[in-house]
């Protein structure tokens, strides 16, 4: 697969990169972690991609509790943060780095609202259909814990997870508008922060009978 360049940094977004990212009207964001439970499992990587395809992979170190530049960016009101399954990533970012991400767009929720003809809403499926690009997910379940010694393959995988999200977001937004589900989608995106907070507090199914 052809790859464009990306940069790898430690602990936080460098100060000199912050202004350019803050100017972007939208940003793709993803994380890699040790597992699926925020209170148990470490946050290992945060990947960013702006509309000009500038990809930065930030390695989060063991015991690290803050990343001030990243926090400023992910909480910036004028920049839309696009995730695939935001509910998990924003819970991780809140739990480990005290970041409250907003505003946000979730391509998984958007796909479920717009692509009702398909049962498949994984990132690989959505990118394949909308971008005609086959993502290699073989590194998905690998050991992200040794941040400073990740293989080039792992870093490339992590970078590719954010590379197509902005384009996917645009196409899904078009579909949501066409199907008259854009307002519903926005309400769902606003609700995701609350759902992530409930997840962190370990509430289960409080809306069930
Ligand atoms: Mn990922």
Q: Walk along the chain (209 residues) and give the pLDDT tens digit of each residue.
A: 334 589 999 999 999 999 999 999 999 999 999 999 999 999 999 999 999 999 999 999 999 999 999 999 999 999 999 999 999 999 999 999 999 999 999 999 999 999 999 999 999 999 999 999 999 888 888 999 988 899 999 999 999 999 999 999 999 999 999 999 999 999 999 999 999 999 999 999 999 99
Please state, in angstroms and rounded to a whole number, the distance separating the CA atoms of residues 118 and 125: 10
Question: Residue 15 C-alpha to ligand 1 middle, in angstroms?
Answer: 24
- Position 3 scores a pLDDT of 45
Q: How far apart are CA 141 and CA 159, in angstroms?
A: 15
Taking the centre of ligand 1 as the mean of its atom positions, its distance from the CA of residue 5, in whole angstroms, is 17
Distance 171 CA to ligand 1 centre (A): 20
Q: How many CB atoms lie within 10 A of CB 166?
A: 22
| Cα-to-centroid distance, 158 and ligand 1 (Å) | 5
What is the pLDDT at residue 5?
Answer: 83
> Which pair of tokens denotes residue 164?
């197509």
Q: Quote the ligand 1 centre to 205 CA distance (angstroms).
A: 26
Q: Cis omega before residue 57 (within 30°)?
A: no
Ramachandran assignment for 11, one of left (phi > 0), alpha (psi -120 to 50 degrees), beta (any other): left
Global confidence as pTM: 0.95
Q: Output the CA 111–ligand 1 centroid distance in Å.
A: 17
Exposed (0-12), middle (13-18) or buried (19+): which is 21, by Cβ within 10 Å?
buried
Other Cβ atoms within 10 Å of 140 Cβ, number: 15
Distance 65 CA to ligand 1 centre (A): 21
**186 CA → ligand 1 middle, Å:** 23
Mapping DSSP to helix (H, G, I), strand (E, B) and coil, where does residue 74 land? helix
Q: How far is the CA of 30 from the centre of ligand 1 (A)?
A: 6
Cα 137 to ligand 1 centre (Å): 9
Domains for the chain: give ranges and CATH numbers: 7-200 (3.30.420.10)
Distance 29 CA to ligand 1 centre (A): 9
How remote is the CA of residue 149 from the centroid of ligand 1, in Å?
18
Distance 31 CA to ligand 1 centre (A): 6
| Strands of the sheet with 6-10, listed across from one edge | 6-10, 55-59, 43-49, 26-33, 80-83, 104-106
Interval between CA 208 and ligand 1 midpoint (Å): 30
Share in percent of the chain as helix, strand, coil (round to 5): 45, 15, 40
Distance 209 CA to ligand 1 centre (A): 34
């Amino acid at each position: 697969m052809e790859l464009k360049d990306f940069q790898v940094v430690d602990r936080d977004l460098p100060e000199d990169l912050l202004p350019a990212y803050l100017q972007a009207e939208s940003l793709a964001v993803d994380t890699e972690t040790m597992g699926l439970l925020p209170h148990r499992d470490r946050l290992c990587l945060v990947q960013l991609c702006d509309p000009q395809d500038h990809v930065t992979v930030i390695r989060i170190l063991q015991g690290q509790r803050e990343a001030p530049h990243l926090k400023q960016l992910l909480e910036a009101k004028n920049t839309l943060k696009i995730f695939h399954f935001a509910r998990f990533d924003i819970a991780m970012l809140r739990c480990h780095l005290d970041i409250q991400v907003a505003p946000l767009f979730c391509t998984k929720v958007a796909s479920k609202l717009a692509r009702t003809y398909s049962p498949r809403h994984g990132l690989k499926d959505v990118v394949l259909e909308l971008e005609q690009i086959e993502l290699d997910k073989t590194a998905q379940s690998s050991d992200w814990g040794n941040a400073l010694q990740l293989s080039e393959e792992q870093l490339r995988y992590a970078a590719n997870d954010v590379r197509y999200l902005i384009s996917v977001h645009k196409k899904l937004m078009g579909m949501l508008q066409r199907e008259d589900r854009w307002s519903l989608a926005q309400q769902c995106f606003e609700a995701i922060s609350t759902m992530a907070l409930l997840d962190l507090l370990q509430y289960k199914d409080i809306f069930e009978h």
